[in-house]
């Protein structure tokens, strides 16, 4: 029994050894990164009145307003935007090459997956709800009432419509 316990202890110690050796390096690296971020990061606080709204980008149907809170969706790196949609607003089936995270700030937002917008296949999300959509997942969305969502992702952020005819950028002017 003692030999079995000793063998088990040695095996466990050998399995954990790489982690014990690697941790000091990772800790120094993390501290170094945290220090650099603290030296360059700017603390920002946005009160609702401070948020500057403008027209949503042309990759979305007209009628929505957007506000950029952090980053630049056109460049590599994290960003946060808010999208304000009127009642009845619909975003046809599309994909993104990056993960999309959505938090409902107010109103009722609906999302579903598939090749085309199908309200029967959607999930209703009320204020406070959160959804995460893996990269390249075909999905669609709509608002039943005036709704504000917050989107977190990494850029460059691209919207690729499943059906090119649904892309507002292809609409005849």
141, part of any domain: yes
pLDDT number for residue 173: 61
99, part of any domain: yes
Residues 31 and 110 in one domain: no
Structural domain including 121 reads: 52-170
Residues 37 and 83 in one domain: no
Residues 77 and 2 in one domain: no
Q: How many domains does the chain have?
A: 2
47, part of any domain: no
Residues 86 and 1 in one domain: no
Residues 5 and 63 in one domain: no
Residues 103 and 121 in one domain: yes
84 closest CA partner among 45, 112, 55, 47? 55
According to DSSP, the residues that pair with 168 across neighbouring strands are: none
CATH value at residue 115 = 2.60.120.10
Span between the terminal Cα atoms of the chain, in Å: 83
For each of the chain's 173 residues, which pLDDT tens digit applies?
A: 444 333 333 333 333 333 333 444 444 344 433 433 344 468 889 899 999 999 999 999 999 999 999 999 999 999 999 999 999 999 999 999 999 999 999 999 999 999 999 999 999 999 999 999 999 999 999 999 999 999 999 999 999 999 999 999 998 76
pLDDT number for residue 34: 41
Q: How far apart are CA 144 and CA 140, in angstroms?
A: 14
Q: How far apart are CA 133 and CA 102, in angstroms?
A: 8
154, part of any domain: yes
């Amino acid at each position: 029994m003692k030999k079995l316990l000793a063998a088990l202890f040695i095996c466990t110690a050998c399995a954990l050894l790489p982690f014990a050796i690697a941790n000091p390096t990772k800790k120094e690296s993390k501290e170094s990164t945290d220090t650099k971020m603290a030296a360059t990061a700017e603390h920002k606080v946005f009160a609702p009145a401070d948020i500057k709204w403008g027209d949503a980008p042309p990759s979305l149907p007209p009628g929505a307003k957007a506000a950029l809170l952090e980053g630049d969706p056109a460049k590599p790196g994290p960003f946060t935007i808010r999208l304000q949609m009127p009642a009845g607003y619909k975003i046809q089936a599309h994909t993104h090459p990056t993960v999309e995270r959505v938090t409902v700030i107010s109103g009722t937002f609906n999302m579903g997956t598939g090749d085309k917008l199908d309200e029967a296949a959607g999930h209703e999300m009320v204020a406070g709800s959160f959804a995460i959509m893996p990269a390249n997942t075909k999905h669609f969305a709509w608002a039943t009432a005036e709704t504000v969502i917050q989107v977190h992702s990494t850029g460059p952020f691209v919207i690729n419509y499943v059906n090119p005819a649904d892309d507002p950028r292809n609409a005849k002017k």
